[in-house]
Amino acid sequence: MTAGTTPTADERRFLGIDRKTIAPALLVLALALVMSVVLPAIDARTPYRDAVRKGDVAELAGGITLAPTPGWDLASGALVGRTRSSVGDTAQTELVDGSVDFFVQAAPFAGAPSALLTRINRINADLSRARGRAAALSNRYAVTTRQGISGVGEDFVGLARQGSVVAFVFRSREPPAGSQGQVIREGVEIVVSGPSGAISRRRDDIVRMIRSIRTAA
Amino acid sequence: MSTLAADRRRAIEQSGWGETFRFVQPHNLAFWVYCLLVGAGVYVLWGQVSIAAAAYSGALISGIVAFGLVALAYLWFIHYEDRYTSVPPKLAAAGFVWGFAGATGAFALLGNDAVMSLYAKTFGASFAFDWGAALAAPIDEELAKGAGVLLLLVLAPKLIRSPFDGLILGAFVGLGFQISEDISYAWIGAANAFGDVGATWSTIAVRTLVSIPSHWMFTAVFGAGLIWFIGRPDVPARKGLGAGLMLTAMLMHGLWDGSAAIAGNSDFSLIVPTLVAGVLITVFVWVYDTSVSIERGWMRELMAPEVAQGVVTPAELDALAGTRSTRRRYVRTQPSSRRTERVLDAETRLAQQIAHDGGAETAAVRQARAAVVRARGT
């Protein structure tokens, strides 16, 4: 380009792209790559550094707790006395140990444990159809916590993972004194999944954690 | 050319008023990056929507209908506030689509999950429970939405000429993000409650109630800050103010997301979000008032020759280029408020036509001018 003249289209372009548009567009592309590729990759390679210790108690929902096995990692959720925010009636807790995942979903539910498990199965069947994956289910069996609360469970076997689904319904809290309010009934779904060998090796931990669930009500 | 006519030409040139937005620009890399990232976002969102449609279709449809109506209300409001050199509908739509699909699917969904998980792994799940969202979303999401404003600035440099344009475009981008997130929360609410659609309606009610101090407002402040930071040919860069506004948008977003943890189980649980909302709205109004004065000046310069010709009166020009309260006050003081409104509307259309025709004396401009005279006579 000669000084004092307007650049031609060819001079303004690099491989057919206007030069002045390249830097900002590449900046945005780089930002997208950092967020959608680099950060998830760093996350996948980062181990947990804050394993559950003896005496820690996880709060699954308002007034409902679980004693996690020491050494497992709390991937999401809240430990009693360690958070500033309160845990609501609808909450998720996830514990992991190696390739085994122990997931708990709590939310208000008015029916019986068997009705909750039926609803969970219906949702899972819809999701399996959409994903083109199916899992075989076992017969249902009774599960009882150390507090004496009865639930219902079943086992599933899929292509890559197997595990169990257990459903309970707890009284999560009493209505305030003198009020006409109903007792809040809280459904708790536990999904344990992982490769068969890994699950077998942790069976005692898993059973102990399920049986430790209790309600303050 | 008279001074007034020269000022008019300069106002049209500086404001970009009357320019049209051409989306397809094969020689502009921003066009290809926009298409790539919106395409990637649609792909990621489709994965989610297919799950929602399979198992939570009632919740998904409820969310789309309810938040579709919320979107219409806010689109109308933002357009209503953009009353001078309006952002063209195609540019506003490109901003909304970026927020709805690109910023969510190609940036925030994966980025937020990764950052929240890293907080849990590094500082413990309880820390992430309290502070994860407040420390992840404001950075990831404001950068993701701001990236859209930057891309559109490269696609439409002649249209985005002032911080006010950044404010309005940012509002459209933020609104797209907000509605996309709202619809997700609607069906996720049902998913987290064993498929109960009642939980979806609780989510819809809460998200609608808190929709004012939300993404459209965060990104409006961020967008104005970005334009001030970069500067435009006729609006010199103010790096400190621009950076300050972008950081303010992130800070307000973080305080809003962290308000439950900040207040804890105290009696202040409602005070913190209320305070944050108050500060955010105050900042938004300040940015609006500060940046809109440039647009008002352009309107005044554009219509000054019409005052000289006697088509528009000086008082009408004050109303046209003034605030809404100035306009309302002027209308109230006139004998026939209905006729005055008609005249002002006709004068607004005349301004748009003059800008569209680049200040030339065209047949369309003459027709628009005649319409002002007719409105005055009825």
Among the ranges B70-74, B196-200, B262-266, B311-315, which has the highest mean pLDDT value?
Answer: B70-74
Task: Note whether B111 contacts A39, CB cutoff 8 Å.
Answer: yes
CA distance B282 to A215: 45
Task: Provide the pLDDT confidence category of residue B18 given band limits of 50, 70 and 90.
Answer: confident
**Other Cβ atoms closer than 10 A to B136:** 24
CB B25 within 8 A of CB B321: no
Output b/e per residue, A98-125; b: 16+ Cβ within 10 A. eebbbbbbbbbbeebbebbbebbbebbe
Measured between CB atoms, does B267 come within 8 Å of chain A? no
Nearest Cβ partner of A32 from B26, B107, B115? Answer: B107
What is the arithmetic mean of pLDDT over B160-178?
96
Nearest Cβ partner of B110 from A35, A49, A92? Answer: A35
Quick one: tokens of A79? 């430990």
What is the arithmetic mean of pLDDT over B182-207?
93
Predicted pLDDT of residue B241: 96
Question: CA nearest A76 in B: which residue?
Answer: B125
Chain B nearest CA to A146, separation (Å): 25
Predicted pLDDT of residue A9: 66
Question: CA nearest A57 in B: which residue?
Answer: B126
- CB contacts of A107 in chain B (<8 Å) are 192-194, 196, 199
Q: Name the helix (H) or strand (E) containing A101.
A: strand A100-108
Task: Note whether B115 contacts A79, CB cutoff 8 Å.
Answer: no
CA distance B245 to B242: 5
Which of B44, B57, B126 is best to mutate for the A interface (most A CBs within 10 A)?
A: B126
Measured between CB atoms, does B196 come within 8 Å of chain A? yes
How far is Cα of residue B377 from the mean position of the Cα atoms in its chain? 38
Q: Cα-flanking dihedrals φ and ψ of residue A156, to 5°?
A: -135, 150
CB B345 within 8 A of CB B337: no
Task: Note whether B144 contacts A31, CB cutoff 8 Å.
Answer: yes
Task: Note whether B113 contacts A40, CB cutoff 8 Å.
Answer: yes
Task: Note whether B55 contacts A123, CB cutoff 8 Å.
Answer: yes
Amino acid at the residue B112:
N
Chain A nearest CA to B251, separation (Å): 19
- CB contacts of B54 in chain A (<8 Å) are 126-127, 129-130
- CB contacts of A88 in chain B (<8 Å) are none
Predicted pLDDT of residue B7: 84
Predicted pLDDT of residue A179: 52
Closest by Cα among A159, A151, A157 to A192 = A157
Predicted pLDDT of residue B187: 94
Count contacts between A and B (CB, < 8 Å).
171
Residue B243 reports pLDDT greater than 90: yes
Task: Note whether A39 contacts B123, CB cutoff 8 Å.
Answer: no
Nearest Cβ partner of A36 from B50, B111, B129? Answer: B111
Measured between CB atoms, does B264 come within 8 Å of chain A? yes
Predicted pLDDT of residue A2: 43
Measured between CB atoms, does B35 come within 8 Å of chain A? no
Measured between CB atoms, does B26 come within 8 Å of chain A? yes
Quick one: tokens of B72? 């219409």
Task: Note whether A84 contacts B192, CB cutoff 8 Å.
Answer: no
ipTM of the complex: 0.89
| Helix segments in chain B, DSSP class H | 3-15, 29-55, 57-81, 89-97, 109-123, 125-127, 133-155, 163-191, 197-209, 215-230, 239-257, 259-263, 271-309, 314-320, 324-333, 337-356, 363-377
Chain B nearest CA to A168, separation (Å): 13
CB B119 within 8 A of CB B128: yes
DSSP string, B133-198: HHHHHHHHHHHHHHHHHHHHHHH-TTT--SHHHHHHHHHHHHHHHHHHHHHHHHHHHHHTTTT-HH
Task: Note whether B117 contacts A127, CB cutoff 8 Å.
Answer: no
Task: Note whether A36 contacts B110, CB cutoff 8 Å.
Answer: yes
pLDDT, tens only, B253-311:
999 998 888 877 676 777 888 888 899 899 999 999 999 988 888 899 899 889 988 89
pLDDT, tens only, A125-172:
888 877 777 778 889 999 999 999 999 999 998 877 789 999 999 987
Amino acid at the residue B236:
P
**Other Cβ atoms closer than 10 A to A64:** 27
Measured between CB atoms, does B119 come within 8 Å of chain A? no
Nearest Cβ partner of B129 from A29, A78, A120? Answer: A78
Amino acid at the residue B97:
V
pLDDT, tens only, A43-83:
999 998 878 999 999 999 988 999 999 999 999 999 998 88
Task: Note whether A22 contacts B29, CB cutoff 8 Å.
Answer: yes
Of all residues in chain A, the percent with pLDDT exceeding 90 is 64
What is the arithmetic mean of pLDDT over B206-220?
93
What is the arithmetic mean of pLDDT over B108-129?
93
CA distance B130 to B262: 9
- CB contacts of A83 in chain B (<8 Å) are 126, 129-130, 261
Closest by Cα among B330, B327, B334, B343 to B376 = B343
What is the arithmetic mean of pLDDT over B177-203?
94
Task: Note whether A25 contacts B33, CB cutoff 8 Å.
Answer: yes
Residue A180 reports pLDDT greater than 70: no
Question: CA nearest B140 in A: which residue?
Answer: A35
Amino acid at the residue A53:
R
